[in-house]
Amino acid sequence: MSLLQKLFVLVLFLAAASGGGYYYYTSVYLPAQATPEPVLQTTRVRTGDLVISVAGAGNLAPAEQVSIGFRSGGVLAEVNTAVGDVVEAGQHLARLDDTALRLQLAQDQLNLQALISPEAVIEAEVAALNAESTLEKAVEDLQYLISPAVWRWEEALKHAQAELDTLKSTAGTSAEAITSAENAVATAQANLNRAQVQYQTDYVPVTFNYTYTDIETEEELEGLFPPTATDISLARAKAGSAELALQSAQTYVEQLKLGQPCNEEGVVTAAEGTLLFKLEQACLDIEQTNLALANTRLVAPISGTITSLNATVGQAVSTAPIVTIATLDQLNLRIYIEETDMALVKVGQRVQAVFDAYPDQPVSGELTSIEPALQTVDGTPVIVAWASLENATGTNLLSGMAAEVELIAGEALGALLVPVQALRELTPTSYAAFVLQPDGQLKLTPVTIGLKDFANAEILSGLKAGDLVSTGTVETK
Protein backbone atom coordinates (compact mmCIF):
# COMPACT_ATOMS: atom_id res chain seq x y z
CA MET A 1 0.00 0.00 0.00
CA SER A 2 1.37 3.39 -1.02
CA LEU A 3 1.88 6.20 1.43
CA LEU A 4 -1.07 8.08 0.02
CA GLN A 5 -3.37 5.15 0.57
CA LYS A 6 -2.18 4.76 4.17
CA LEU A 7 -2.87 8.41 4.86
CA PHE A 8 -6.40 8.04 3.42
CA VAL A 9 -7.17 5.04 5.65
CA LEU A 10 -5.89 6.89 8.74
CA VAL A 11 -8.13 9.87 7.96
CA LEU A 12 -11.17 7.59 7.57
CA PHE A 13 -10.40 5.90 10.93
CA LEU A 14 -10.07 9.18 12.78
CA ALA A 15 -13.32 10.42 11.25
CA ALA A 16 -15.17 7.28 12.36
CA ALA A 17 -13.79 7.53 15.89
CA SER A 18 -14.73 11.17 16.14
CA GLY A 19 -18.28 10.44 14.96
CA GLY A 20 -18.70 7.60 17.47
CA GLY A 21 -17.50 9.77 20.33
CA TYR A 22 -19.91 12.52 19.38
CA TYR A 23 -22.78 10.03 19.22
CA TYR A 24 -21.94 8.63 22.72
CA TYR A 25 -21.64 12.14 24.17
CA THR A 26 -25.00 13.33 22.83
CA SER A 27 -26.99 10.11 23.08
CA VAL A 28 -25.65 8.50 26.28
CA TYR A 29 -23.54 10.79 28.42
CA LEU A 30 -25.64 13.98 28.31
CA PRO A 31 -29.01 12.23 29.00
CA ALA A 32 -27.43 10.47 31.97
CA GLN A 33 -26.42 13.79 33.52
CA ALA A 34 -29.89 15.39 33.19
CA THR A 35 -32.28 15.47 36.27
CA PRO A 36 -35.26 13.13 35.60
CA GLU A 37 -38.82 14.37 35.94
CA PRO A 38 -40.62 12.80 39.01
CA VAL A 39 -43.27 10.21 38.22
CA LEU A 40 -46.77 11.04 39.60
CA GLN A 41 -48.38 8.13 41.52
CA THR A 42 -52.19 7.90 41.49
CA THR A 43 -54.89 5.52 42.67
CA ARG A 44 -58.61 5.28 42.24
CA VAL A 45 -61.14 5.77 45.01
CA ARG A 46 -62.62 2.31 45.55
CA THR A 47 -65.46 0.68 47.47
CA GLY A 48 -64.57 -1.83 50.15
CA ASP A 49 -64.70 -2.83 53.81
CA LEU A 50 -62.56 -1.34 56.58
CA VAL A 51 -62.41 -3.05 59.97
CA ILE A 52 -60.50 -1.72 62.99
CA SER A 53 -59.87 -4.50 65.49
CA VAL A 54 -57.91 -5.20 68.64
CA ALA A 55 -56.35 -8.59 69.28
CA GLY A 56 -56.34 -10.24 72.67
CA ALA A 57 -56.21 -13.57 74.43
CA GLY A 58 -58.87 -14.94 76.71
CA ASN A 59 -60.34 -17.86 78.58
CA LEU A 60 -63.79 -18.89 79.73
CA ALA A 61 -64.85 -18.35 83.33
CA PRO A 62 -68.19 -18.87 85.11
CA ALA A 63 -70.41 -15.81 85.49
CA GLU A 64 -70.50 -16.67 89.22
CA GLN A 65 -68.14 -18.84 91.22
CA VAL A 66 -67.79 -19.19 94.99
CA SER A 67 -65.59 -21.30 97.21
CA ILE A 68 -67.12 -21.91 100.61
CA GLY A 69 -66.27 -23.53 103.93
CA PHE A 70 -67.66 -23.77 107.45
CA ARG A 71 -67.63 -20.78 109.79
CA SER A 72 -66.06 -22.93 112.49
CA GLY A 73 -63.92 -26.05 112.55
CA GLY A 74 -65.10 -29.52 113.43
CA VAL A 75 -65.50 -33.09 112.21
CA LEU A 76 -67.60 -33.79 109.11
CA ALA A 77 -70.62 -35.90 110.00
CA GLU A 78 -72.43 -35.66 106.67
CA VAL A 79 -71.62 -34.87 103.01
CA ASN A 80 -74.60 -34.64 100.68
CA THR A 81 -73.04 -33.73 97.33
CA ALA A 82 -70.36 -34.71 94.83
CA VAL A 83 -68.38 -33.10 92.02
CA GLY A 84 -70.64 -32.48 89.03
CA ASP A 85 -73.87 -32.23 91.03
CA VAL A 86 -76.17 -29.34 90.19
CA VAL A 87 -77.35 -27.61 93.39
CA GLU A 88 -79.83 -24.88 94.21
CA ALA A 89 -79.22 -21.83 96.39
CA GLY A 90 -79.98 -22.75 100.02
CA GLN A 91 -79.41 -26.48 99.49
CA HIS A 92 -77.78 -28.36 102.37
CA LEU A 93 -74.34 -29.61 101.27
CA ALA A 94 -72.56 -30.89 104.39
CA ARG A 95 -72.80 -30.95 108.21
CA LEU A 96 -70.37 -30.99 111.11
CA ASP A 97 -70.85 -33.11 114.22
CA ASP A 98 -73.16 -30.99 116.42
CA THR A 99 -73.64 -33.31 119.42
CA ALA A 100 -71.97 -30.99 121.95
CA LEU A 101 -73.91 -27.96 120.69
CA ARG A 102 -77.24 -29.76 120.97
CA LEU A 103 -76.48 -30.58 124.60
CA GLN A 104 -75.53 -26.94 125.18
CA LEU A 105 -78.80 -25.77 123.64
CA ALA A 106 -80.79 -28.09 125.93
CA GLN A 107 -78.97 -26.64 128.95
CA ASP A 108 -79.59 -23.07 127.79
CA GLN A 109 -83.30 -23.78 127.40
CA LEU A 110 -83.45 -25.27 130.91
CA ASN A 111 -81.82 -22.11 132.26
CA LEU A 112 -84.44 -20.00 130.52
CA GLN A 113 -87.31 -22.14 131.83
CA ALA A 114 -86.04 -21.65 135.37
CA LEU A 115 -86.32 -17.88 134.89
CA ILE A 116 -89.87 -17.94 133.50
CA SER A 117 -91.44 -20.51 135.81
CA PRO A 118 -94.55 -19.56 137.87
CA GLU A 119 -92.31 -19.13 140.89
CA ALA A 120 -90.09 -16.79 138.87
CA VAL A 121 -93.14 -14.73 137.84
CA ILE A 122 -94.14 -14.26 141.48
CA GLU A 123 -90.57 -13.33 142.34
CA ALA A 124 -90.55 -10.79 139.51
CA GLU A 125 -93.77 -9.15 140.71
CA VAL A 126 -92.38 -8.90 144.26
CA ALA A 127 -89.18 -7.40 142.88
CA ALA A 128 -91.20 -4.82 140.94
CA LEU A 129 -93.08 -3.81 144.10
CA ASN A 130 -89.83 -3.52 146.02
CA ALA A 131 -88.33 -1.42 143.23
CA GLU A 132 -91.33 0.87 143.30
CA SER A 133 -90.98 1.31 147.07
CA THR A 134 -87.26 2.00 146.72
CA LEU A 135 -87.95 4.65 144.09
CA GLU A 136 -90.56 6.34 146.27
CA LYS A 137 -88.09 6.48 149.18
CA ALA A 138 -85.31 7.84 146.92
CA VAL A 139 -87.62 10.55 145.55
CA GLU A 140 -88.72 11.49 149.08
CA ASP A 141 -85.10 11.86 150.14
CA LEU A 142 -84.32 14.00 147.08
CA GLN A 143 -87.41 16.18 147.61
CA TYR A 144 -86.36 16.72 151.21
CA LEU A 145 -82.93 17.97 150.13
CA ILE A 146 -84.02 20.23 147.24
CA SER A 147 -87.65 20.96 148.32
CA PRO A 148 -90.80 19.44 146.82
CA ALA A 149 -91.43 22.58 144.76
CA VAL A 150 -88.01 22.50 143.09
CA TRP A 151 -88.36 18.77 142.39
CA ARG A 152 -91.85 19.23 140.94
CA TRP A 153 -90.80 22.00 138.56
CA GLU A 154 -87.63 20.16 137.55
CA GLU A 155 -89.82 17.23 136.49
CA ALA A 156 -92.22 19.56 134.71
CA LEU A 157 -89.36 21.23 132.83
CA LYS A 158 -87.88 17.85 131.87
CA HIS A 159 -91.18 16.61 130.40
CA ALA A 160 -91.92 19.94 128.65
CA GLN A 161 -88.48 19.96 127.02
CA ALA A 162 -88.89 16.33 125.90
CA GLU A 163 -92.24 17.17 124.34
CA LEU A 164 -90.76 20.14 122.48
CA ASP A 165 -87.85 18.05 121.16
CA THR A 166 -90.29 15.41 119.93
CA LEU A 167 -92.43 17.97 118.09
CA LYS A 168 -89.39 19.56 116.41
CA SER A 169 -88.12 16.19 115.20
CA THR A 170 -91.53 15.16 113.83
CA ALA A 171 -92.21 16.08 110.21
CA GLY A 172 -95.35 18.10 109.61
CA THR A 173 -95.64 19.56 113.10
CA SER A 174 -97.49 22.87 112.98
CA ALA A 175 -95.89 26.12 114.06
CA GLU A 176 -98.70 26.61 116.60
CA ALA A 177 -97.90 23.30 118.30
CA ILE A 178 -94.21 24.15 118.53
CA THR A 179 -94.99 27.61 119.89
CA SER A 180 -97.30 26.11 122.53
CA ALA A 181 -94.59 23.63 123.56
CA GLU A 182 -92.00 26.41 123.75
CA ASN A 183 -94.35 28.41 126.00
CA ALA A 184 -94.73 25.35 128.26
CA VAL A 185 -90.94 25.08 128.55
CA ALA A 186 -90.65 28.79 129.36
CA THR A 187 -93.40 28.55 131.99
CA ALA A 188 -91.79 25.54 133.67
CA GLN A 189 -88.41 27.27 133.66
CA ALA A 190 -89.85 30.44 135.22
CA ASN A 191 -91.61 28.45 137.95
CA LEU A 192 -88.40 26.51 138.61
CA ASN A 193 -86.45 29.73 138.96
CA ARG A 194 -88.98 31.04 141.53
CA ALA A 195 -88.89 27.75 143.42
CA GLN A 196 -85.09 27.86 143.58
CA VAL A 197 -85.21 31.40 145.00
CA GLN A 198 -87.79 30.34 147.58
CA TYR A 199 -85.60 27.35 148.38
CA GLN A 200 -82.81 29.67 149.51
CA THR A 201 -85.00 32.24 151.23
CA ASP A 202 -87.68 30.11 152.83
CA TYR A 203 -87.08 26.35 152.62
CA VAL A 204 -83.48 26.11 153.78
CA PRO A 205 -83.82 28.34 156.89
CA VAL A 206 -86.87 26.41 158.05
CA THR A 207 -85.87 22.86 157.14
CA PHE A 208 -82.15 22.78 157.94
CA ASN A 209 -82.04 24.92 161.12
CA TYR A 210 -80.78 22.70 163.95
CA THR A 211 -80.30 23.18 167.72
CA TYR A 212 -77.17 21.62 169.22
CA THR A 213 -75.22 21.68 172.53
CA ASP A 214 -71.69 23.08 172.63
CA ILE A 215 -69.40 20.41 174.08
CA GLU A 216 -67.19 22.84 175.99
CA THR A 217 -69.76 25.32 177.29
CA GLU A 218 -72.72 22.96 177.25
CA GLU A 219 -74.66 25.86 175.86
CA GLU A 220 -77.55 25.18 173.47
CA LEU A 221 -76.95 26.84 170.13
CA GLU A 222 -78.78 27.09 166.82
CA GLY A 223 -77.13 26.55 163.41
CA LEU A 224 -78.04 26.32 159.73
CA PHE A 225 -76.76 23.15 158.04
CA PRO A 226 -78.10 22.99 154.44
CA PRO A 227 -77.25 19.96 152.24
CA THR A 228 -74.04 20.15 150.24
CA ALA A 229 -73.82 19.81 146.47
CA THR A 230 -72.40 16.33 147.01
CA ASP A 231 -75.39 15.33 149.14
CA ILE A 232 -77.81 16.49 146.45
CA SER A 233 -75.86 14.81 143.61
CA LEU A 234 -75.80 11.53 145.52
CA ALA A 235 -79.55 11.76 146.16
CA ARG A 236 -80.22 12.44 142.45
CA ALA A 237 -78.08 9.44 141.49
CA LYS A 238 -79.97 7.17 143.89
CA ALA A 239 -83.31 8.36 142.50
CA GLY A 240 -82.15 7.80 138.91
CA SER A 241 -80.84 4.33 139.73
CA ALA A 242 -84.07 3.42 141.52
CA GLU A 243 -86.09 4.60 138.48
CA LEU A 244 -84.06 2.41 136.10
CA ALA A 245 -84.41 -0.55 138.46
CA LEU A 246 -88.18 -0.12 138.52
CA GLN A 247 -88.36 0.09 134.73
CA SER A 248 -86.27 -3.07 134.46
CA ALA A 249 -88.44 -4.94 136.95
CA GLN A 250 -91.66 -3.85 135.24
CA THR A 251 -90.34 -4.81 131.79
CA TYR A 252 -89.34 -8.22 133.15
CA VAL A 253 -92.84 -8.83 134.50
CA GLU A 254 -94.44 -7.67 131.23
CA GLN A 255 -92.26 -10.01 129.16
CA LEU A 256 -93.10 -12.97 131.37
CA LYS A 257 -96.85 -12.24 131.27
CA LEU A 258 -96.83 -11.79 127.48
CA GLY A 259 -95.13 -15.17 127.05
CA GLN A 260 -92.27 -13.57 125.06
CA PRO A 261 -89.33 -13.76 127.42
CA CYS A 262 -86.73 -13.17 124.70
CA ASN A 263 -86.84 -9.81 122.94
CA GLU A 264 -86.28 -9.60 119.22
CA GLU A 265 -82.96 -7.80 119.42
CA GLY A 266 -81.37 -10.39 121.68
CA VAL A 267 -79.14 -7.70 123.20
CA VAL A 268 -78.65 -7.24 126.94
CA THR A 269 -79.95 -3.76 127.84
CA ALA A 270 -80.72 -4.17 131.57
CA ALA A 271 -78.41 -3.38 134.45
CA GLU A 272 -76.16 -6.26 135.39
CA GLY A 273 -77.45 -8.31 138.33
CA THR A 274 -81.15 -7.58 137.74
CA LEU A 275 -83.67 -10.29 136.87
CA LEU A 276 -84.13 -8.72 133.43
CA PHE A 277 -80.40 -8.92 132.84
CA LYS A 278 -80.43 -12.62 133.72
CA LEU A 279 -83.41 -13.21 131.42
CA GLU A 280 -81.85 -11.42 128.48
CA GLN A 281 -78.53 -13.19 129.09
CA ALA A 282 -80.36 -16.54 128.99
CA CYS A 283 -82.00 -15.54 125.70
CA LEU A 284 -78.63 -14.44 124.35
CA ASP A 285 -77.11 -17.80 125.27
CA ILE A 286 -79.84 -19.62 123.32
CA GLU A 287 -79.39 -17.33 120.32
CA GLN A 288 -75.63 -17.83 120.28
CA THR A 289 -75.97 -21.63 120.55
CA ASN A 290 -78.54 -21.68 117.74
CA LEU A 291 -76.16 -19.62 115.61
CA ALA A 292 -73.33 -22.06 116.35
CA LEU A 293 -75.64 -24.92 115.36
CA ALA A 294 -76.53 -23.16 112.10
CA ASN A 295 -72.81 -22.77 111.38
CA THR A 296 -72.38 -26.56 111.49
CA ARG A 297 -74.34 -26.74 108.23
CA LEU A 298 -72.82 -25.82 104.88
CA VAL A 299 -75.44 -24.32 102.56
CA ALA A 300 -75.08 -23.41 98.88
CA PRO A 301 -75.13 -19.60 98.54
CA ILE A 302 -75.83 -19.74 94.78
CA SER A 303 -77.30 -22.17 92.28
CA GLY A 304 -74.74 -23.92 90.13
CA THR A 305 -72.55 -26.98 89.63
CA ILE A 306 -70.10 -28.45 92.16
CA THR A 307 -66.70 -28.11 90.46
CA SER A 308 -64.49 -29.15 93.39
CA LEU A 309 -65.06 -30.91 96.71
CA ASN A 310 -62.53 -31.69 99.41
CA ALA A 311 -64.73 -33.31 102.06
CA THR A 312 -65.05 -36.82 103.47
CA VAL A 313 -67.18 -37.98 106.39
CA GLY A 314 -65.02 -38.18 109.50
CA GLN A 315 -62.54 -35.61 108.19
CA ALA A 316 -61.53 -32.77 110.52
CA VAL A 317 -61.95 -29.45 108.75
CA SER A 318 -61.14 -25.82 109.51
CA THR A 319 -62.72 -22.70 108.07
CA ALA A 320 -60.84 -23.09 104.77
CA PRO A 321 -63.00 -23.55 101.62
CA ILE A 322 -63.85 -27.17 100.82
CA VAL A 323 -66.52 -26.73 98.10
CA THR A 324 -66.54 -24.67 94.89
CA ILE A 325 -69.77 -23.89 93.06
CA ALA A 326 -69.84 -22.35 89.58
CA THR A 327 -72.58 -21.35 87.14
CA LEU A 328 -71.36 -23.46 84.24
CA ASP A 329 -74.54 -22.83 82.24
CA GLN A 330 -73.50 -19.17 81.95
CA LEU A 331 -69.85 -18.73 80.96
CA ASN A 332 -68.22 -15.37 80.30
CA LEU A 333 -65.04 -14.69 78.37
CA ARG A 334 -62.19 -13.06 80.29
CA ILE A 335 -60.02 -11.13 77.80
CA TYR A 336 -56.47 -9.84 78.26
CA ILE A 337 -55.59 -6.85 76.06
CA GLU A 338 -52.36 -4.86 75.72
CA GLU A 339 -52.31 -1.58 77.61
CA THR A 340 -51.48 0.37 74.43
CA ASP A 341 -54.88 -0.55 72.96
CA MET A 342 -56.86 1.02 75.80
CA ALA A 343 -58.21 3.87 73.64
CA LEU A 344 -59.80 1.37 71.24
CA VAL A 345 -61.60 -0.75 73.83
CA LYS A 346 -65.19 0.15 74.81
CA VAL A 347 -68.12 -1.66 76.42
CA GLY A 348 -70.65 -2.82 73.84
CA GLN A 349 -68.11 -3.69 71.13
CA ARG A 350 -68.59 -6.85 69.10
CA VAL A 351 -66.25 -9.69 70.02
CA GLN A 352 -65.21 -12.73 68.03
CA ALA A 353 -63.45 -15.61 69.77
CA VAL A 354 -61.72 -18.61 68.22
CA PHE A 355 -61.19 -21.37 70.77
CA ASP A 356 -58.23 -23.72 70.55
CA ALA A 357 -60.67 -26.65 70.73
CA TYR A 358 -62.77 -25.31 67.80
CA PRO A 359 -60.40 -23.41 65.47
CA ASP A 360 -62.92 -23.43 62.60
CA GLN A 361 -65.95 -22.29 64.59
CA PRO A 362 -65.64 -18.65 65.71
CA VAL A 363 -68.06 -17.57 68.44
CA SER A 364 -69.51 -14.05 68.55
CA GLY A 365 -70.20 -12.02 71.67
CA GLU A 366 -70.30 -8.55 73.18
CA LEU A 367 -67.93 -6.74 75.52
CA THR A 368 -69.81 -6.23 78.81
CA SER A 369 -67.30 -4.69 81.23
CA ILE A 370 -63.74 -3.45 81.65
CA GLU A 371 -61.98 -3.89 84.99
CA PRO A 372 -60.89 -0.54 86.52
CA ALA A 373 -57.29 -1.58 87.24
CA LEU A 374 -54.52 -3.17 85.20
CA GLN A 375 -53.34 -6.68 86.00
CA THR A 376 -49.91 -8.15 85.44
CA VAL A 377 -49.69 -11.32 83.33
CA ASP A 378 -46.25 -12.85 82.76
CA GLY A 379 -44.66 -9.59 83.88
CA THR A 380 -46.68 -7.46 81.44
CA PRO A 381 -49.44 -5.03 82.47
CA VAL A 382 -52.69 -5.80 80.62
CA ILE A 383 -56.27 -4.61 80.49
CA VAL A 384 -58.81 -7.19 81.67
CA ALA A 385 -62.22 -7.09 80.00
CA TRP A 386 -65.25 -9.40 80.09
CA ALA A 387 -67.58 -10.46 77.28
CA SER A 388 -70.76 -12.46 77.04
CA LEU A 389 -70.96 -15.04 74.26
CA GLU A 390 -73.80 -16.13 72.02
CA ASN A 391 -74.88 -19.76 72.05
CA ALA A 392 -72.56 -21.64 69.71
CA THR A 393 -74.14 -24.67 68.07
CA GLY A 394 -71.94 -27.72 67.71
CA THR A 395 -69.55 -26.71 70.49
CA ASN A 396 -69.15 -27.86 74.07
CA LEU A 397 -67.56 -24.91 75.82
CA LEU A 398 -65.95 -25.65 79.18
CA SER A 399 -64.72 -23.34 81.90
CA GLY A 400 -61.05 -22.52 81.43
CA MET A 401 -60.95 -22.99 77.63
CA ALA A 402 -58.46 -20.63 75.92
CA ALA A 403 -59.27 -18.51 72.86
CA GLU A 404 -57.77 -15.95 70.51
CA VAL A 405 -60.03 -12.90 70.64
CA GLU A 406 -60.69 -10.06 68.23
CA LEU A 407 -62.52 -6.94 69.43
CA ILE A 408 -64.16 -4.95 66.65
CA ALA A 409 -63.34 -1.33 67.51
CA GLY A 410 -64.97 -0.05 64.33
CA GLU A 411 -66.07 -1.19 60.88
CA ALA A 412 -67.22 0.42 57.65
CA LEU A 413 -68.79 -1.96 55.14
CA GLY A 414 -69.16 -0.96 51.49
CA ALA A 415 -67.39 2.32 52.18
CA LEU A 416 -65.33 4.60 49.91
CA LEU A 417 -61.66 3.90 50.63
CA VAL A 418 -58.37 5.56 49.72
CA PRO A 419 -54.80 4.80 50.85
CA VAL A 420 -53.66 6.98 53.74
CA GLN A 421 -50.88 8.29 51.43
CA ALA A 422 -53.57 10.12 49.45
CA LEU A 423 -54.55 12.28 52.43
CA ARG A 424 -53.05 15.68 53.13
CA GLU A 425 -53.53 16.87 56.72
CA LEU A 426 -54.64 20.51 56.78
CA THR A 427 -55.28 20.68 60.54
CA PRO A 428 -55.34 17.92 63.17
CA THR A 429 -59.03 17.35 62.36
CA SER A 430 -59.33 18.17 58.65
CA TYR A 431 -57.92 16.57 55.52
CA ALA A 432 -57.79 17.04 51.73
CA ALA A 433 -56.77 15.03 48.67
CA PHE A 434 -55.28 15.96 45.28
CA VAL A 435 -57.78 14.86 42.62
CA LEU A 436 -56.45 14.41 39.06
CA GLN A 437 -58.54 16.49 36.63
CA PRO A 438 -59.29 15.57 32.98
CA ASP A 439 -56.73 18.18 31.83
CA GLY A 440 -54.01 16.47 33.86
CA GLN A 441 -53.97 19.10 36.63
CA LEU A 442 -54.26 18.30 40.34
CA LYS A 443 -57.04 19.92 42.38
CA LEU A 444 -56.80 20.06 46.20
CA THR A 445 -60.20 18.85 47.42
CA PRO A 446 -61.31 18.88 51.12
CA VAL A 447 -62.54 15.49 52.33
CA THR A 448 -64.21 14.15 55.47
CA ILE A 449 -62.82 10.89 56.75
CA GLY A 450 -64.28 8.25 59.06
CA LEU A 451 -62.37 5.16 60.14
CA LYS A 452 -58.67 4.98 59.42
CA ASP A 453 -56.00 2.35 59.95
CA PHE A 454 -52.35 2.26 58.98
CA ALA A 455 -53.19 1.54 55.31
CA ASN A 456 -56.58 2.92 54.33
CA ALA A 457 -59.08 5.61 55.29
CA GLU A 458 -62.86 5.78 54.92
CA ILE A 459 -64.09 8.78 52.88
CA LEU A 460 -67.39 10.21 54.09
CA SER A 461 -67.57 13.18 51.73
CA GLY A 462 -65.53 15.03 49.10
CA LEU A 463 -64.78 12.12 46.73
CA LYS A 464 -66.71 9.53 44.74
CA ALA A 465 -65.90 6.05 43.57
CA GLY A 466 -63.55 6.02 40.58
CA ASP A 467 -61.90 9.39 41.26
CA LEU A 468 -58.15 9.43 40.57
CA VAL A 469 -56.24 10.81 43.54
CA SER A 470 -52.56 11.41 43.93
CA THR A 471 -50.61 9.38 46.43
CA GLY A 472 -47.40 11.35 45.82
CA THR A 473 -44.45 11.13 43.44
CA VAL A 474 -41.58 8.66 43.06
CA GLU A 475 -38.16 9.86 41.87
CA THR A 476 -36.50 7.98 39.00
CA LYS A 477 -33.04 6.72 39.87
pLDDT attached to residue 280? 83
Rounded average pLDDT over 39-45: 86
Q: What is the separation, in whole angstroms, between the first and last Cα of the chain?
A: 52
Is residue 274 within 8 A of residue 249, CB to CB? The reply is: yes
pLDDT attached to residue 36? 58
Residues across the chain:
477
Mean pLDDT of the chain: 86
Q: How far apart are CA 198 and CA 206, in angstroms?
A: 11
Q: Which residues contact 202 (CB under 8 A, 6 or more apart)?
A: none
pLDDT attached to residue 236? 94
Task: Say which range, 105-109, 258-262, 393-397, 408-412, has the weakest mean pLDDT.
Answer: 258-262
Is residue 389 within 8 A of residue 332, CB to CB? The reply is: yes
Rounded average pLDDT over 348-357: 92
pLDDT attached to residue 266? 42
CA dihedral 417, 420, 425, 431 (to 10 degrees): 0
HSE (side-chain half, CA atoms, 13 Å) at 438? 0
- DSSP per-residue letters across 129-168: HHHHHHHHHHHHHHHHHH-HHHHHHHHHHHHHHHHHHHHH
Rounded average pLDDT over 199-228: 84
Q: What is the band of 386 on the pLDDT scale with cuts at 50, 70, 90?
A: very high
pLDDT attached to residue 25? 56
| Nearest alpha-carbon partner for 269 in 256, 258, 288, 284 | 284
Q: What is the band of 477 on the pLDDT scale with cuts at 50, 70, 90?
A: very low
| Nearest alpha-carbon partner for 288 in 78, 72, 452, 69 | 72
pLDDT tens-digit profile of 274-324?
Answer: 777 888 888 899 999 999 999 999 999 999 999 999 999 999 999 999 999
pLDDT tens-digit profile of 130-139?
Answer: 999 999 999 9
Rounded average pLDDT over 235-257: 87
pLDDT attached to residue 475? 44
Rounded average pLDDT over 40-52: 89
Rounded average pLDDT over 198-227: 84
- What percent of the chain stands above pLDDT 90? 58
